[in-house]
Structure 1
């Protein structure tokens, strides 16, 4: 379930960020690159959460 939430939040936050930055620059919002970045962001968050950060209770 946490993977699903990571994908959802990564998707939403990256699309919001791309929309705001495009609006500030006077450009237009592109859904495809923003969604791709969201998936990459979610995968990176999962890798960091599962592999790189260790739980102190497990040691």
Structure 2
């Protein structure tokens, strides 16, 4: 479920980023550019999230 929400939010945010930047530069909106950014950002975020999770539970004394 965690990966689903990561991809969902990176999709929305990358589409927003492509739309805003293309509007500011006077270019045209390109949906596939947002999909590519979503894939790249999702892989990076998932990798960083999995690397930060400890494998063994810590014992509290």
After TM superposition, is the score higher than 0.5?
Answer: yes
Q: Whose Rg is larger?
A: 2
Please report the TM-score for the alignment, with normalisation by the length of structure 2.
0.82
Please report the TM-score for the alignment, with normalisation by the length of structure 1.
0.85
Q: Using the alignment, how far apart are the partners of 2:5 and 2:23 within structure 1?
A: 27
Q: Using the alignment, how far apart are the partners of 1:47 and 1:26 within structure 2?
A: 34
Q: Per residue, is there more helix in 1 or in 2?
A: 1
RMSD, matched Cα: 1.6
State the aligned residue count.
57
Match of 1:25 in 2: 25
Structure 1 unmatched runs, 5+: none
Structure 2 unmatched runs, 5+: none
Match of 1:34 in 2: 34
With a CA cutoff of 8 Å and minimum separation of 6, indicate the structure with the bigger relative contact order: 1
